[in-house]
Homo-oligomer: A and B are copies of this chain.
């Protein structure tokens, strides 16, 4: 569900606020973009095709988005608004005792699921971020900041600290998030290479569990 605040901030390229018809058109363009992104490579994604797919004309596309990147950014923006869930998985977990390891497995599973659903979008966010695009970097931060901080806090708290996480804990959180997201992004490739998703989830969960608690995971 996109928040009203987010919808209210929708602007056409010329700055005006679209009415309901305009918002509908914009949304059809976004849907078309998402659909095509799942088929073609990012390089092949063309404004003309998006317009065709949305049943409108290229000129209309430019009425709502400066370029293709902006449309993808808007799509990913909806994503970030809808998903604060990953951080919650960490915070709602009890890392002590027997409940710790299942929590780590849930987190790994949540990443795998999230990426499975949003893979085409997320890989473009990843590329654009790596290319130094500030807008995408800000978005990616908004998307993953929460989990990263939640993990850093979990590490801090588990070891008896009570202040904000230090740089070592933050680095650990960021490293774990990198691992979780990259394995999730390349799940298909790793499966083709012969690795079952279940094994990958276990491997990730074990590393998360150890990183947070410093304890050897069960049955390892």
Report A181-220 residues with CB < 8 Å from chain B CB: 181-183, 185-186, 188-190, 192-196, 199-200, 202-204, 206-207, 210-211, 214, 216, 220
Q: How many residues of A contact B (CB 8 A)?
A: 54
Complex Cα distance, B206 from A125, in Å, reads 28
Q: How many copies does the complex hold?
A: 2
B207–A193 touching, CB < 8 Å: no
Is A141 positioned at the interface, with any CB of B under 8 Å from its CB? yes
Asked whether, in the complex, the Cβ of A214 is within 8 Å of the Cβ of B211, the reply is no
A131 contacts the other chain (CB 8 A)? yes
A69 (CB) vs chain B CBs: closest residue: B43
Instruction: Flag if B179 contacts A175 (CB, 8 Å).
Output: yes
Q: Which B residues are in CB contact (< 8 Å) with A206?
A: 172, 211
Give 1 or 0 for each of A143-179: 1 = CB within 8 Å of chain B CB: 0000000000000000000000001101110111011
